[in-house]
Structure 1
Amino acid sequence: MKPQLTEGWPTSAQAAAMATTDRYGPPDEASPSLLIWHDREPWRRVVVSRAMVPHRFPHTHVDVVRHVVDHPVPTDRITDLARFSGSVVYDRTRGELSSHCEDEEGNILALNLAHDVVAHGLDVDSARHRCHEAIETRNTEDRDPYLDRLIFEPGRGADPDEVTIDDEMQDRLRQALGADRPA
């Protein structure tokens, strides 16, 4: 990675950018505040940000890297995701589940547990407890495998929702906005 891409960035963001570049090669997009990698298996997207978001679960750290996968989430499980971790985010329309943390390992763990919550009905308290315990195994012989790789296959989960406005009203709205009708 070209060092000038992260010049002036906080150390933790620079470290995340370097680790991501070492693993996935140079970013596909770069701006003064973001580096983005597209379609690096198993990720739909990896984003490293100059901005540091303080986070205290399961320990004090800053979130600087986001990993995004395709993953359906039933609407009745979205609240449980929010209760599990504020760093796990579901974009229903795109069908994307993401986690932002200090490193890829933390995001893999969070996404594995999020999957267990939405797909297998793991209760939120158990997921939070497992997250805490897994982090404690990072540098031990008993390392939790949820830190190392996704335990699920990402799958399309886009939900474009339902049209609630009739065709005539949609046409009037498009004309008023000067927009073309989508294909």
Structure 2
Amino acid sequence: MNQVKNRLQALGLVDRAFANTTDEELTGAIDALGDEHRSALDELVKGEADAATVREAVTHGRMDGTMESIALVVTDACLADCIEQLGDNADYPSSDQLREVLPGLVDTHGLGIARLMLASTVAGEAPASSIIRDLLKHDDLVKLPPAEEKQISPMIRKPKVDDAEREAIKAKRKELKKQKQEEARARREQSQRDRTR
């Protein structure tokens, strides 16, 4: 159960990171992609990738891996820069080492893309996931805003009906019920007559 909870929390971080990435940051990251990455992203969004199609694909692909895949493609350049700056410490960076490289990543790629890259590494179960999760929750530079409350079940809105229309509907139902009762009585009487013959 703990693994499932951790997995859902990691996906929640990616989702929140996407939600807090501006359209301009997404567009900049998409425009900077090479041909291979762009083709992969177009395939993931099932069309031509832009900020709107990416957001739509993320919304529909939270649980099937699409959201994570999009995050990996969009943040690949930021991740490569992070790995390069961390050097030999890239696999097991300390909190301080990450804090040292983050300002440069934010300057180069934007805050939203840097956060998305960090959240993506948590979802990808990087060895430093616990450190990165802590940064996304508490670091002054990359901390994600608290999650907004979301409606879980769809709201069903009943159409507004005025009193006169409601009374007309009730009268019609009552008439139909009376008619069905009369038909049922007539069938019973017919059935009894047929038995007595």
TM range (shorter): under 0.3
Which structure has the bigger radius of gyration? Answer: 2
Larger RCO, structure (CA 8 Å, separation 6 or more): 2
Name the structure with the higher helix share: 2
Higher share in strand:
1
TM norm structure 1: 0.26
The TM-score, its normalising length taken from structure 2, stands at: 0.24
